[in-house]
Amino acid sequence: MLFDQATQRYRAGTITTPPPSLGDVVMVPEVRAARARCVLHSVRPPARFTATGVVWPDGRAEAFDAVIWCTGFRPVLGFLGGLGLVGPDGRVATAGTRALALPGLWLVGYGSWTGFASATLIGVGRSARATVEEINVFLG
């Protein structure tokens, strides 16, 4: 839905219309509803990942069943340091967007590495939908 709306807004724009802000793109009705129910909120990035979750900047560790690490344009993988996931080529071995060496970790938005044009809002839709299906199966 998010990517469909971003595409529609992009296509509807004219030269005299300023592009939508990131807040306009991500605040689709479903996102607003999730925030109103207090099931979606933003947090600062973790200090680092562990084999079972993350360590927050305040030192508190938290376990997660699944983590979706999203970025665009350039891989940001410093948070994965110490887990032995980043290969000599600077990439994490994946099957689709799922990290092969760490169950429960998905990487979305890394261009052709994790899906055709997935470093763009328009292109990431296909790999994002596939990631959701993979996580549903994983969490079973």
Which stretches of the chain drop beneath a pLDDT of 50? 14-15
pLDDT of residue 15: 43
pLDDT of residue 49: 85
Distances from the Cα of 10 to the Cα of 2, 38, 61, angstroms: 12, 29, 40
Residues 14-36 have pLDDT tens digits of 445 555 555 565 677 888 898 89
Distance CA(117)–CA(112), nearest Å, equals 6
Q: What is the pTM of this model?
A: 0.69
Nearest to 60 by CA among 73, 71, 46: 46
Distances from the Cα of 50 to the Cα of 1, 5, 41, 90, angstroms: 31, 35, 22, 19
pLDDT of residue 76: 78
pLDDT of residue 43: 80
Domain ranges of the chain: 1-42, 43-140
